[in-house]
Amino acid sequence: MIYVKTDREIGLMREACKITGDVLKLLEDKIKVGMTTKELDKIAYDYIISCGAKPSFLGLYGFPATTCISIDEEVVHGVPSDRVIEENMIVSVDVGAFINGFHGDAARSFYVGSISPEKKKLIDVTRECFFEGIKGICVGSALGDIGAQVQAHAEKNGFSVVREMVGHGIGRNMHEDPNVPNFGRRGTGVRLKRNTTLAVEPMINMGRHEVLINGLSCVTKDGLPSAHYENTILIGDNGVEILTL
């Protein structure tokens, strides 16, 4: 069942989404070569707590950290560790904040120093896939339009779309109905209602779309890099509003 929020609930949810967006801006500023992913995670934890919020991911399904930090062939759900961040790595950070009874959720793929043109294109196209996915979406749009638009842009640029991992509804729970695939056909799926909130999150692979899932870990089957870009969005009277930017 899709939980459509009231205007009051949307107002409460905005704070969680703002904190989520702000922590990613902070991490983009702080990330550097030689830092460990665990150190980056600690910055996110400290910031979220300082805002009076709680990290949404910490303890969720047993996850042990504030952020999912996934490098290169890791698609999503990478666990922060003593791994050192180096040049030419794609470092994808997924984070959520919980306050006022609601969650925000967003992700970015970063790099530091120099990076290959191929990886830079993958990061850029993944971000573009998000904006292509929400283009023209409004009250009454079919949910499948989002995935169809993401898939078309990724494949036009020579990349592939992960099938096993999808976006989702979000609100009082981090994961709510509906699932939001990054692939599919236009005109399919439920029609979107006013005050529906979704986490739209293209996960785009440089090589084939197949992934391997082992516990928390999700990696590309062919070992080639992947990138991730996500925001929490609101379907409103004027179309899509991005709550985590």
37-85: pLDDT as tens digits: 999 999 999 999 999 999 999 999 999 999 999 999 999 999 999 999 9
Q: How far apart are CA 222 and CA 216, in angstroms?
A: 18
- Would you say residue 1 lies in a domain? no
Mean pLDDT on 112-126? 97
Q: How far apart are CA 17 and CA 98, in angstroms?
A: 9
Q: How far apart are CA 96 and CA 29, in angstroms?
A: 18
Given a cut of 90, whether residue 217 has pLDDT beyond it is no
Q: How far apart are CA 242 and CA 223, in angstroms?
A: 32
- Would you say residue 230 lies in a domain? yes
At residue 214, the pLDDT reads 79
Overall domain count for the chain: 1
Mean pLDDT on 83-91? 98
Prior bond of 178 cis (ω within 30°): yes
Task: Report CA dihedral (199, 20, 57, 232) to the nearest 10 degrees.
Answer: -10
- Would you say residue 173 lies in a domain? yes
Task: Give the sign of the dihedral formed by CA 150, CA 155, CA 157, CA 158.
Answer: positive
Indicate the pLDDT class of residue 216, thresholds 50, 70 and 90. confident
Single-letter code of the amino acid located at 33: V
- Would you say residue 78 lies in a domain? yes
Q: Which domain holds residue 48?
A: 7-242
- Would you say residue 199 lies in a domain? yes
CATH code for the domain of 104: 3.90.230.10
- Would you say residue 2 lies in a domain? no
- Would you say residue 190 lies in a domain? yes
At residue 215, the pLDDT reads 80
